[in-house]
Structure 1
Amino acid sequence: MKAVFVENAEQVKVKEVNRPNIKSDEVLIKVIKAGICGSDIHTYKGLHPFRKPPVIMGHEVAGEVAEVGNDVSKVKVGDRVTVEPQKGTGESEGIMTGNVNYSDERLAPGMGEWLGTMAEYFVAPETLVLSLPDSVSYEKGVLMEPLAVGVHAAFKGEVHPSDRIAILGAGPIGLLTLAAVYARNVKSTLVTDVFDYPLDIARDMGARTTLNIGGKSNWVTEAKEIMGGSFDKVFITAGVPGIINQALHLLKKGGRIVTVAMFQDQQKIDIEQLQQNEKEIVGCMTYNRPDSEEALSIIEDNKIPLEKVISHQLPYEQAADGFRMVDKKEDQSVKVLINFDA
């Protein structure tokens, strides 16, 4: 089968590999769509903390069941599915509490023997496979996983409809966090970015207002003036230098920051802002099954135009172009899907 590899930093190739075999509790999925995620770009650039080249890329997927193991009972050949792509292994706090994202040995596609989703076929345990409702297209189905990240962020933020919320970064995760917040009936939202085109999408998806902060040194003050005061919750979806302290200065006393983005560098914290004003910084790591189920429900409800996040769909032969586009923000790229259905 054909598979998309990152062989070295910024080197993407399509290679022929053996079609994987399945175990008795596993499902073989014929991949229709796979998404390029921000964490995939970290791998592409050689910066990911645990997913290292050479590796078959991808963890976002939607496809059709091609084969099932002898012990599989919840899905059958021909079913349309997506996957919650994380495994908790070993005896750990995550396994004991049901929070797979807490697991001491958490596995994701592209780690060890678990191959990534950017291939003609992908294997997942039955326990991680979710059926797609008939009304949900493969394009939207592939958004379940990144939307679950936004849903978990909203959960960690303890979002309430009356909250005034800022989302810092209008990449796919920022936009899907906006969707998760909007699904909780929050109307007072501001989304920031350094490009106008994703902010246009944010407004289409329900953001009350947006702010291009490119080249602005006083954007924190401007954001609070636009919204009529400080924010109850701030979601950081772009891990850029200085963003923690900027978020702290956006926040009201007793407010909460949720860190959703991946951070490559250390961040300084204004401890006076944190302590004297009883502000909170909360970590946020992937999702758990309730988040995935809620994400799928939001997609099925079809009340939010999630398809606007998808900017490009490319055949797998052009995967290298897709990674470059996302990395360099070329051609107004946001979420780029890699197609295997030709």
Structure 2
Amino acid sequence: MENVHGDLEGGKIKDGRAEAVDTNMAAWLLGVKNLQIQPYHLPPLGPQDVKVRIKAVGICRSDVHHYNHMRCANFLVKKPMIVGHECAGFIEEVGSEVKSLQVGDRVALEPGISCLSCPLCTGGRYNLCPQMKFFGSPPTNGSLANQVVHPARLCFKLPETVSLEEGAMCETLSVGVHACRRANVGPETNVLIIGAGPIGLITMLAARAFGAPKIVMVDVDDLRLSFAKDLGADEIVKGSTSIEDVAEEVSCIHKAMTNCVDVSFDCVGFTKTMTVALNATRAGGKVCLVGLGQTEIAIPIMAAATTREIDVIGIFRYRNTWPLCIELLRSGKIDVKKLITHRFKFDNEGVEKAFETSARGGDAIKVMFNL
């Protein structure tokens, strides 16, 4: 398989660092729970590319799946790969045709490179491009590295008031923004969100920014529910892992909402959570599947889609979200800083601890690397 973002480079390593200070280093996934910081040889800088010095990288659940299982859904890691895709940094070098950015600019990176020419791309849905090359998704190398080369069109300049960590959070925020756009959330949309993990919480922040008047959060973890309440959820409901508890859980949701549930976001992706979402949502409402908990799920779609005309929609990553995300952060309409709960250094010990912390969940919402 071609590695479009560069290759593993031979070199002497000492205490997780290159002996030569100018060697570009990256976190390579070599096997299950085997991450090592090793040299990374970048591809040549194209005329429309920029070289970015990465300063902040967040860990996503897909990164954790790759770390734990060498796969995420149908994406299999078959050779050493650099992980990471939530990132921001500053421009170190620009290609000969780049006019929009200059050396020293602080930027947030959109991690997916689409082909721009297939029917999906030309039709505006480039996030579904079958030729997508996405940071840290096999076989494409990711961005947990000192430096990366990336197209300038996918690097978005950050205002002075938006930090690099916030810039890295634009990737997570983009998922919430895209979900709210797909579900047409607005000032008259009462929202149910199942799952108070990083994606569920950021979807809540996005839904509020889109005008949702009431938001109810469901989770099985009391700590996560408390975090959701502190972050602005109107009501919280303790969920269950048992499919037998669906009716009782739906009843609790309806009591907490008081009005009808117009849109439900399943940010978990299990048979149980989708069943709850479909049963809790009003006739004519929408259920948006965001989470990827199970590869296959069995849900009561017939009654929901026919007699109740519930629209079931899904999202895959995002599209055209970075400018809006940056403006939401700049204006203060969304504050993602509270979501960053843990920070780690970029060395072998730090990388291992960071991934174990993120995999543990609990009080670890967003784990961030400072490079």
TM-score bracket, shorter-length normalisation = over 0.9
Q: How does 1:6-155 map to 2 (within 5 A)?
A: 6-45=29-68, 46-48=70-72, 49-50=74-75, 52=77, 54-89=80-115, 91-111=117-137, 114-155=140-181
Q: Provide the C-alpha distance between the structure 1 equivalents of 2:153 and 2:25, rounded to a whole number of angstroms.
A: 26
The match for 2:351 is 319
The match for 2:312 is 281
Q: CA deviation at 1:277?
A: 0.7
Q: Which amino acid aligns with 1:190?
A: V
Q: Is the 8 A contact 2:30 2:81 kept in 1?
A: yes
Q: Is the 8 A contact 2:271 2:299 kept in 1?
A: no
The match for 1:4 is 27
Q: Which amino acid aligns with 2:275?
A: N
The match for 2:286 is 256
User: Greater shift after overlay, 126-135 or 216-225?
Assistant: 216-225
The alignment covers a number of residue pairs equal to 338
Q: Does 1:203 align with 2:190?
A: no
Q: Is the 8 A contact 1:248 1:274 kept in 2?
A: no
Q: Is the 8 A contact 2:262 2:282 kept in 1?
A: yes
Q: Deviations over 1:314-335 (max 9, x none)?
A: 00121111111111225x1010
Q: Provide the C-alpha distance between the structure 1 equivalents of 2:83 and 2:156, rounded to a whole number of angstroms.
A: 21
Q: Provide the C-alpha distance between the structure 1 equivalents of 2:271 and 2:159, rounded to a whole number of angstroms.
A: 41
Q: Deviations over 1:104-150 (max 9, x none)?
A: 21220135774311000111101101000110011111111110111
Q: CA deviation at 1:77?
A: 0.6
Q: Provide the C-alpha distance between the structure 2 equivalents of 1:132 and 1:176, rounded to a whole number of angstroms.
A: 20
Q: Provide the C-alpha distance between the structure 2 equivalents of 1:112 and 1:280, rounded to a whole number of angstroms.
A: 32
Alpha-carbon spacing, 1:174–1:112, altered in 2? closer, same or farther (3 Å): closer
Q: Does 1:177 align with 2:203?
A: yes
The match for 1:227 is 257
Q: Provide the C-alpha distance between the structure 2 equivalents of 1:143 and 1:137, rounded to a whole number of angstroms.
A: 10
Q: CA deviation at 1:303?
A: 3.3
Q: Which amino acid aligns with 2:34?
A: Q
Q: Provide the C-alpha distance between the structure 2 equivalents of 1:196 and 1:65, rounded to a whole number of angstroms.
A: 42
Alpha-carbon spacing, 1:126–1:113, altered in 2? closer, same or farther (3 Å): farther
RMSD of equivalent CA atoms: 1.8
User: Greater shift after overlay, 14-23 or 246-255?
Assistant: 14-23
The match for 2:267 is 237
Task: Look at both structures and tell me which one has the larger radius of gyration over its CA atoms.
Answer: 2
Q: Provide the C-alpha distance between the structure 1 equivalents of 2:139 and 2:188, rounded to a whole number of angstroms.
A: 46
Q: Is the 8 A contact 1:205 1:304 kept in 2?
A: no
Q: Percent identity?
A: 28
Q: Provide the C-alpha distance between the structure 2 equivalents of 1:104 and 1:303, rounded to a whole number of angstroms.
A: 34
